[in-house]
Amino acid sequence: MNLSSDPDRSGQPECSSRHGGRHKATSGVHFTVSVVLPAGGTGERTGLVTPKQFYMFLNRPLISYTIQAFERLSWIQHIVVVVAEESIALTRDIVQRFQHTKVRVVSGGATRHRSIFNGVQALDPGESAATPDVVIIHDAVRPFVEEDFLLEIAMAAKENGASGAIRPLVSTVIATTSEGYLDHSLERGKYRASEMPQGFLYGVIHQAYQKCSEFDFDFGTECLHLALQHTGTRAKLIEGPPTLWKVTYKRDLAAAESIIKETLCRSACVTSDGSKRARELGRCLQKVMASLDMELDVLPEPIGDASRLSKEWNFIKLFVNGSGLSEVEETVKALEAANRALLHPVVVVWVRLDTSDGMSVSETGAGHLPLMELASAAKLQNILLYGIHFLLSEEDAGFSEGSVKRLAELTYTLIHDRNALLAGQMLCA
Ligand SMILES: Nc1ccn([C@@H]2O[C@H](COP(=O)(O)OP(=O)(O)OP(=O)(O)O)[C@@H](O)[C@H]2O)c(=O)n1
Ligand SMILES: O=C(CO)[C@H](O)[C@H](O)COP(=O)(O)O
């Protein structure tokens, strides 16, 4: 899944491939590609009042995640977002707030096909956006689409006129009689679920919609079928990754949030006060975090490498000598100045080692108030700052496995959960 770490949107972003590896995608797309994102539905099946495309994940609406999955790709020209008339102002506000630059918002229709057609027409030569060679259609409620798969879809659409994502069926499809009995069952191996994205030569999808009937507009569910029926174009079908699934039910919202959180907590950058003990603690932490699937990059410098500020979502700052809160403040300020937390909350965990006896915990009250103040200001910039008082007994000078595990698990939980309510808290490990 992509969660672009490219806030300035320059160059070719790194993306994770559906085969599990990470690579720099080189597009090689020598034709123009634009996107239509239908987002004009009400999301009835979620049972919620807010349409699912506007549901918030970590302070950001679902639709912004989907837009970003396309916007970060240099070979995508324009993105037309189709929403219900009453959601136009809200959508424009989202586009502005999250600094999406390729988006045009247009109003949708009563059905998905009507909304998509409005989006396709908005890319017409008479309209302001230039007509692309290929148009990719993708439901706004499928946020986890990766560059390598979009490339396959775009290339196949250019070559064949139409292309679409498919997945194996998870259940067998059966036909029922009007009395509710089994009529017949389909041979599962022969059928596939049609998913999104789908790609079309602009002329193919435009013509298909111009020719389609009112019945198609009202009851049709398949753009590839319209292209076949009305233009004779047989789509190339490509099996996509499971992450292409559509957020449909309430449980899908929880699953989407969990994927976003998992992706954001895969790595962290650790800096220390430069002391031998703090560096040693960094190395111990690195080993335990690896077993939790979090990769730690332990930097030798006390302040750390400024270039990490533009890449990493998570920072752990270790201090053995003195409080270190002023260094933490510097990191927070640098993150703010770089507008680093525009798309995702950035987590900073301040760890203070204390080898004196447990009685001194109350003394941490001295650092707690400044931490709370700093954290409240940082939270306004979407930076979540937490404090951990790491208590070690005199005998545990060598960092026992148990004590490091305690620190690692607490740090991992703070980074993974990104709980804004806990920001500013000084916890004990
Ligand atoms: N009149 C409509 C209906 C749907 N869509 C969009 O088509 C995509 C896929 O449709 P679906 O999952 O069915 O969304 P909803 O229609 O919103 O959901 P429900 O059927 O549960 O009401 C969604 O991004 C949805 O916003 C649209 O643009 N215009
Ligand atoms: O199934 C599809 C294949 O074209 C579409 O992806 C679409 O998501 C279906 O939406 P709906 O749930 O409204 O039928």
Domain that residue 125 falls in: 33-249
Which ligand does the CA of 52 lie closest to? 1
Quote the pLDDT of residue 356.
66
CATH for 276: 3.40.50.720
Q: Are 312 and 304 in contact (CB under 8 A)?
A: no
What's the 219 CA to ligand 1 centre distance in angstroms? Answer: 13
Query: What is the pLDDT, as a whole number, of residue 303?
Result: 61
CB atoms within 10 A of CB 11: 10
Q: Is the dihedral of CA 92, 208, 27, 141 positive or negative?
A: positive
Tokens of 252: 């899908």
Cα 137 to Cα 196: distance, rounded to the nearest angstrom: 7
Cβ-based neighbour number of residue 422 at 10 Å: 14
Give a yes or no: residue 51 inside a domain.
yes
- In ligand 1, the atom with minimum distance to the C-alpha of 45 is 21
Mutation test of ligand 1: which of 141, 142, 196 has the most ligand atoms closer than 8 Å to its C-beta?
Answer: 141
For 385-416, b/e burial (b = at least 16 CB within 10 A) is bbbbbbbbeeeeeebeeebbbbbbebbbebbb
For residue range 226-239, list pLDDT tens digits in order: 999 999 999 999 99
Is there an atom of ligand 1 within 6 Å of 41 CB? Answer: yes
43 C-alpha vs ligand 1 centroid, how far in Å?
Answer: 6
Distance of CA 272 to the CA centre of its chain: 30
Q: Is residue 15 part of a domain?
A: no
Give SS3 for 10.
coil
Cβ atoms < 10 Å from Cβ of 211: 12
Distance (angstroms) between ligand 1 centre and the Cα of 186 equals 27
Chain-centroid distance, C-alpha 246: 14
The count of domains in the chain is 2
Residue 225: is its pLDDT beyond 90? yes
Measured between alpha carbons, how far is 128 from 122 in angstroms, rounded to an integer? 8
Least distant ligand from the CA of 235: 2
Q: Which of 191, 217, 249 is the last residue of a domain?
A: 249
**Mode of pairing for the β-strands spanning 182-185 and 174-176:** antiparallel
Whole-number Å distance between alpha carbons of 277 and 174:
65
- Same-domain pairing of 200 and 65: yes
Taking the C-alpha atoms of residue 114 and residue 276, their distance in angstroms, rounded to an integer, is 65
Same domain, 288 and 421: yes
pLDDT at site 7 = 42
Q: How confident is the model at residue 228, as a pLDDT?
A: 98
pLDDT of residue 20: 38
pLDDT digits (tens, 9 = 90+) for 329-356: 999 999 999 999 999 999 999 999 987 6
What CATH number is attached to the domain comprising 231?
3.90.550.10
**Does residue 136 sit in the same domain as residue 197?**
yes
Residue 334: inside a domain: yes
Q: Which atom of ligand 1 is nearest to the CA of 248?
A: 12
Please tell me the residue having the least CA distance from ligand 2 atom 11.
Answer: 221
Q: How far is the CA of 139 from the centre of ligand 2 (A)?
A: 8
pLDDT at 185 over 70: yes
Residues 198 and 334 in one domain: no
Indicate if 191 and 306 belong to the same structural domain: no
Please check whether residues 234 and 330 belong to one and the same domain. Answer: no
pLDDT digits (tens, 9 = 90+) for 370-398: 999 999 999 999 999 999 999 888 777 78
Residue length, the chain? 429
Q: Which atom of ligand 1 is least distant from the CA of 140?
A: 24
Atom 14 of ligand 2 has which residue's CA nearest to it? 221
Domain check: are 106 and 215 in the same one?
A: yes
Would you say residue 14 lies in a domain?
no
What ipTM was estimated for this complex?
A: 0.95
Q: Which of 188, 221, 249 lies at the terminal end of a domain, its last residue? A: 249
The C-alpha atoms of residue 117 and residue 120 are separated, in whole angstroms, by 5
What residue ranges line ligand 2, CB within 6 angstroms? 112, 139, 194-196, 221-223, 246
Tell me how far the alpha carbon of residue 69 lies from the centroid of ligand 1, in angstroms.
19
Mean predicted confidence (pLDDT) in 408-419: 98
Q: What is the band of 359 on the pLDDT scale with cuts at 50, 70, 90?
A: very low
In a domain, 16, yes or no: no
Whether the CB-CB separation of 423 and 379 falls below 8 Å is answered with yes
pTM for the model stands at: 0.91
Q: Give strand ranges (E) for 147-235.
A: 162-168, 174-176, 182-185, 192-201
Q: Averaged over 116-126, what is the pLDDT?
A: 90
Token readout for 299 is 């930097």
Same domain assignment for residues 67 and 212: yes
Give yes or no for residue 206 CB within 6 A of ligand 1. Answer: no
- Cβ of 246 less than 6 Å from ligand 1: yes
Q: What is the structure's pLDDT at 2?
A: 60
Provide the token pair at 284: 């111990």
Enumerate the β-bridge partners of residue 389. 352, 428
305 versus 213: the higher-pLDDT residue is: 213
> Is residue 25 one of the residues assigned to a domain?
no
pLDDT at residue 104 greater than cutoff 70:
yes
Question: Does residue 1 register a pLDDT over 80?
Answer: no
Cα–Cα distance between 83 and 67 in angstroms, integer? 13
Question: For residue 9, is it within any domain?
Answer: no
Q: Do 309 and 240 share a domain, yes or no?
A: no
Asked whether residue 64 carries a pLDDT value surpassing 90, the answer given is yes
66 alpha carbon, closest ligand: 1
Q: Flag whether 332 is in a domain.
A: yes
Q: Are residues 227 and 276 in the same domain?
A: no
Which among 193, 215, 249 is the end of a domain? 249
Same domain flag for 219 and 319: no
Ligand 1 probe mutation, 37, 52, 113, 139, most atoms within 8 A of CB:
139
Tokens of 23: 């690579």
How do residues 258-285 score in pLDDT, each as one tens digit?
999 999 999 999 998 888 899 999 999 9
Model pLDDT for residues 3-55, shown as the tens digit of each residue: 655 444 333 333 333 333 334 445 789 999 999 999 999 999 999 999 999 99
Pocket of ligand 1 contains residue 141 by CB under 6 Å? yes
**What spacing in Å lies between the alpha carbon of 117 and ligand 2's midpoint?**
15
Ligand 2 centre to CA of 345 (Å) is: 31
Q: Is residue 252 within 8 Å of 143, Cβ to Cβ?
A: no
The separation between the first and the last C-alpha atoms of the chain, rounded to the nearest angstrom, is 32
The single-letter code of the amino acid at 319 is F
In angstroms, what CA-CA distances link 5 with 11, 79, 152, 264, 380? 12, 20, 23, 10, 20
User: What's the confidence (pLDDT) of residue 262?
Assistant: 96
Query: Which residue, chain included where needed, has tokens 């987590």?
Result: 347
What pLDDT, on a 0 to 100 scale, did the predictor assign at position 393? 80
Residue 309 tokens, joined: 């500020």
Kindly state if the Cβ of 43 falls inside 6 Å of ligand 1.
yes
Can you say whether residue 418 is alpha, beta or left, with left for phi > 0 and alpha for psi between -120 and 50 degrees?
left
Same domain, 233 and 290: no
